[in-house]
Amino acid sequence: MSYRTIQLAYDGGVATITFNRPEKRNAISFELIDDLVRGLDEVAKSDAIVLILTGAGKAFCSGMDLENLKGLLGKSPEENLKDSETMVRLFRSLYEFPKVTIAAVNGAAIAGGTGLALLCDFTIAVPEAKFGYTEVRIGFVPAIVSTFLLRQVGEKQARDLLLTGRIFGAEEAARMGLISEIVPAENLLTRARELAALLMENSAASLRLTKQLLTDHARSEVDTQIEAAVRANAGIRSTADFREGISSFLEKRKPVWTGK
């Protein structure tokens, strides 16, 4: 397959997907979503045992692309629902991925970037990495990512991160159990490959069936929560605060909220 926004490489039993929009800090565009979903499908069907996910340049993934943000204004309810379902497909493709996944977080991973980084089975990060569920700061609802965050850190910490929208660093993420290890930048991919090699000492069939078991355990609850999340994600887009949040972010000014 050909991809415009990601690079996909194989080395033995390891596949590596690299977000390849460094000039945009690897922001999530609809094209990147399509490329990543197709890339994940290709790796799932390959002989690879482990997938490493990382970013080109200084950022892992900085959240939604500005041009796509502009395009969200004025969409119909049906279009908003379709967009929400597209984002769900991306996150579920990674959460339910049949191979073991390692996120090598080389820099900022914000909003949807945080979601992608922390959905992997293992997340290792450089000391300078930054995370944040910043959706409420621009009039969004962190609906889809909340489904998975609640399972990772529990309700109290999830409320803190989702309601404040604050940025937090690698050390705090490690204390909460969101990342597995902090690694100097020059050693990041080497460490990811070392972890992949350790995993590949195990039975590939056992790894695959263990991941399937974990996914199946969570499926019923995740299905219910995702259904509500899609409605919330689409519903917020019809509000005045959503329009103000996006407009103020694009115009680089402080938002004026009305609560409507």
The model's pTM = 0.95
- Residue at 11 is within a domain: yes
Confidence (pLDDT) at 191: 98
Dist. CA 12–CA 260, nearest whole Å: 54
User: At 223, is the secondary structure helix, strand, or coil?
Assistant: helix
pLDDT tens-digit profile of 109-124? 999 999 999 999 999 9
**Interatomic CA distance for residues 118 and 67, integer angstroms:** 25
Is residue 37 assigned to a domain? yes
Q: What percent of the chain has pLDDT over 70?
A: 100
Q: Per the domain annotation, does 240 fall within a domain? A: no
Within a domain: residue 101?
Answer: yes
**Which tokens in the block code for residue 225?**
């929560």
Spatial contact of 69 and 117, defined as CB atoms under 8 Å apart = no
Q: How far apart are CA 174 and CA 169, in angstroms?
A: 9
Domain count, the chain: 1
Does residue 124 lie within any of the structural domains?
Answer: yes
Q: Rounded mean pLDDT of the chain? A: 95
Residue written as tokens 């191979």?
99
Q: Is residue 257 part of a domain?
A: no
Range of the domain at 118: 6-186
Which of the residues are catalytic? 135
> If 0-12 CB within 10 Å is exposed, 13-18 middle and 19+ buried, where does residue 45 land?
exposed
pLDDT digits (tens, 9 = 90+) for 162-196: 999 999 999 999 999 999 999 999 999 999 999 99
Closest by CA to 61, choosing from 17, 95, 105, 99, is 105
CATH number assigned to the domain comprising residue 54: 3.90.226.10
| Structural domain includes residue 232 | no
- Asked whether residue 111 is assigned to any structural domain, the reply reads yes
Query: Are the CB atoms for 13 and 48 separated by under 8 Å?
Result: yes
